[in-house]
Amino acid sequence: MYRIAVLSYHTSPLAPLGGAETGGLNVYVLELARELAERGHTVDIFTRRTNPDDPETVSISDAPSGDDAASGARVVHIDAGPARYVEKDALAAHVDAFEAGVAAFADREGATYDVLHSHYWLSGVAGERLKARWGVPHIAMFHTLGEVKARSRISEREPEPRIAAERAIARQADRIVVASRNERELLVRYYDADANRIAVVPCGVNLGMFQPIDKDEARKQLGLSDDDQILLFVGRIEPLKGVDILLGAAAQLESESDCFVLVIGGDRNARAGEMAHLRDLAAELGIAERVSFLGAVDHERLPLFYSAADICVVPSFYESFGLVALEAMACGTPVVASRVGGLSVAVRDGETGYLIPWRCPEPFAERLELLLGNDELRRAFGETARKEVERFRWGNVAEAVLGIYGEVIEGAPARGAVAFRN
Ligand code: UDP
């Protein structure tokens, strides 16, 4: 059994989802820790304290969807910078304090670890330092890459220190885990990373939580009409997610009059102005009364929305994987997504939805029109989608990650492993 130190410095796996900086990474850290703990491993997830009242340690079995089998995994709050929300860009300044805090906690508790697993570049920086301090292997996951983000949408700028740090981590970490072959190629191309030390493990979905619910029943529970067609977006509200493309596409639909768009995500920390910009855009496009911005919705409630929707749309400019696509598919809902990153792995073009290679509304509108106009096709795509996501269960992700832990702990040569088909 392994003792695993997980670093999730900038955001906690227990934080509410759908905020400015709470999304797929948080779900990943929590679900993986749960699977590892259920297999008897111990997992300490270190995160920055953002609330002075948080106890030092919290078992993840206390999380909303937690269960006792996961009692071997806990979140450890470390003092680093002010005990409140701080924008990600200002967090590099407190990485030293975080690393020192993690080391002090381990000393105090007499805790030792077999492996370090860091999430996002800021945690990767702390991970490399703790690796040197403790002499244990370090596995890094970037989730997003500064260099790729900056190239994906003109408005995006990423600080040079981020890219430099990612470059150093890519060179030094024992393994880098990415969610798709495409991300491995990007790391090799833009960061000169060694392909053999990059393991590909697709992301997962909680098949117990995300299950199809009868559409009429889901709509009834949500107070939505049976007659309308519903396009759903779920995610953090930021330009890279391409909500503007979805709105543009919705405005072009011929069946426009009875088609509604639900946009889920966004909280008070969400990027200033982005929500206002999207509302203005909906008004400009003349579809304001058919677009509802619902704000963040509890993860456990999302199956109702996915099941109530006719199509889930994921129009991202950049997506390292895209858990939302898997969740919608698990609820039997077809997905129309950009052909980027892991979305091309999750969605099967023409079988479970459509993949759109261009980042503009017209091709999205064309595919949405086709699918909205054909009930039978949507039903068939939805059924195939549910079957297709079975292999993405978190248990499969955990087994693949455990294989990588085993390799680095035993010092086995890196072989650029690719986990279950992707
Ligand atoms: N999410 C949520 N409530 C919201 C918005 C998002 O629970 O209001 C969850 C969503 O279910 C998914 C995650 O946040 O699990 C977003 O992950 P994804 O990989 O799609 O995007 P990322 O945040 O990694 O860019």
Which tokens hold the place of 234?
């779920």
- Give the CATH superfamily of 3-204+393-410: Glycogen Phosphorylase B; (3.40.50.2000)
Q: Are 247 and 284 in contact (CB under 8 A)?
A: no
What long-range pairs does 155-160 form, CB within 8 A, spacing at least 24? 155/239, 156/239, 156/240, 159/89
Q: Which of 271, 299, 307, 333 to mutate to test the pocket of ligand 1 (most atoms within 8 A of CB)?
A: 299
Q: What is the distance in A from the centroid of ligand 1 to the CA of 236?
A: 7
Which atom of ligand 1 is nearest to 324's Cα?
20
Based on DSSP, count helices (H) and strands (E) in the chain, helices before strands. Answer: 15, 14
Q: Same topology for domains 3-204+393-410 and 215-391, yes or no?
A: yes
Its sign, for the CA torsion 300, 305, 308, 310, is negative
The number of CA neighbours under 13 Å toward the Cβ of 283 is 6
SS3 label, residue 239: helix
First-last CA distance in the chain:
28
Q: What is the distance in A from the centroid of ligand 1 to the CA of 242?
A: 14
Amino acid at 215: K
Tell me the pLDDT of the chain (422 aa) as tens digits: 999 999 999 999 999 898 878 899 999 999 999 999 999 999 999 999 999 999 999 999 877 666 777 789 999 999 999 999 998 889 999 999 999 999 999 999 999 999 999 999 999 999 999 999 999 999 999 999 999 888 887 666 778 899 999 999 999 999 999 999 999 999 999 999 999 999 999 999 999 999 999 999 999 999 999 989 999 999 999 899 999 999 999 999 987 567 999 999 987 665 668 899 999 999 999 999 999 999 999 999 999 999 999 999 999 999 989 999 999 999 999 999 999 999 999 999 999 999 999 899 999 999 999 999 999 999 999 999 999 999 999 999 999 999 999 999 999 888 888 887 65
Q: Are 320 and 179 in contact (CB under 8 A)?
A: yes
Question: What's the rounded Cα separation, in Å, for the pair 128 and 117?
Answer: 10
Which tokens hold the place of 362?
């017209």
Which tokens hold the place of 236?
């953090």
Please report, for residues 67, 179, 350, the alpha-carbon distance to residue 341 in angstroms, rounded to integers and kept in the order given. Answer: 32, 8, 18
Q: Which of 8, 27, 237 to mutate to test the pocket of ligand 1 (most atoms within 8 A of CB)?
A: 27
Q: Give every strand in the sheet of 259-264, ordered side by side.
A: 291-295, 259-264, 229-234, 311-314, 335-338, 353-356
Atom 24, ligand 1: residue with shortest CA distance = 24
Those residues whose C-beta lies under 8 Å from the C-beta of residue 284, and which sit 6 or more positions away, are: none
Residue 229: φ, ψ to 5°: -100, 140
pLDDT of residue 149: 87
Assess whether the C-beta atom of 324 lies below 6 angstroms from ligand 1: yes
Q: What is the distance in A from the centroid of ligand 1 to the CA of 235?
A: 5
Q: Are 116 and 5 in contact (CB under 8 A)?
A: yes
- Please count the other Cβ atoms lying within 10 Å of the Cβ belonging to residue 398: 22
Assess whether the C-beta atom of 341 lies below 6 angstroms from ligand 1: no
pLDDT of residue 158: 79
Assess whether the C-beta atom of 303 lies below 6 angstroms from ligand 1: no
Assess whether the C-beta atom of 400 lies below 6 angstroms from ligand 1: no
- DSSP letter assigned to residue 359: S
pLDDT of residue 12: 96
Domain boundaries, given as residue ranges, for the chain: 3-204+393-410, 215-391
Residue 399: φ, ψ to 5°: -65, -40
SS3 label, residue 135: coil
Assess whether the C-beta atom of 265 lies below 6 angstroms from ligand 1: yes
Assess whether the C-beta atom of 24 lies below 6 angstroms from ligand 1: yes
Q: Which CATH architecture has domain 215-391?
A: 3-Layer(aba) Sandwich (3.40)
Which atom of ligand 1 is nearest to 203's Cα?
19
Which tokens hold the place of 66?
């937690």
Residue 377: φ, ψ to 5°: -65, -45
Amino acid at 353: G
